[in-house]
Amino acid sequence: MSMADRERAQQLLSECNGSGVSSIEWDELHLRLTFENEHSFVTQSAWRLFLRGEMLMGNQDQASEELLSHLKGLKVVSNSIFDHWDTRLVFERDYVLEVICDSVRYEAWEAHVETGWVIFAPGGTTVFPPAERSRAELFRMPPKSS
């Protein structure tokens, strides 16, 4: 991955900065953080949650709703993407979520932000711009004339 792709992904992900977490969903396959502004961050890669440098849990642990619930309401302070494609989201109160890129073929994470749907993978960063109109608008039948 080029430095430009990494910087582009980091810039797009920064659209989540300043946003508070409104909901968290997780299972053994994914973690989804939804923010107050309707942006979201989703990963199916390995992840770890830290508090002040101490690891609280990882995706393979028995997920504790209590531990993850500490992120609710906290704002993203910053993010960074490293040369080896791992990604870090830093939250208020010294919470850190690290996503470990564990595949060269599949995406590490995706984010739904103002710019569009961002997919970050070792091969590069892909952005799908938001649709100008909703599907319902595109397929709406014109009113019948009398």
What residues does each domain of the chain span?
3-138
User: What pLDDT digit, counting tens, does each position of 60-109 carry?
Assistant: 887 667 889 999 999 999 999 998 899 999 999 999 999 999 998 899 99
Contacts (Cβ under 8 Å, ≥6 apart) of 112: 38, 39, 40, 42, 118
Looking at residue 65, its pLDDT comes to 75
pLDDT tens readout for residues 24-66? 999 888 999 999 999 999 999 999 999 999 999 999 887 667 8
**pTM for the whole thing?**
0.86
Is residue 13 within 8 A of residue 78, CB to CB? The reply is no
CA distance 20 to 67: 16
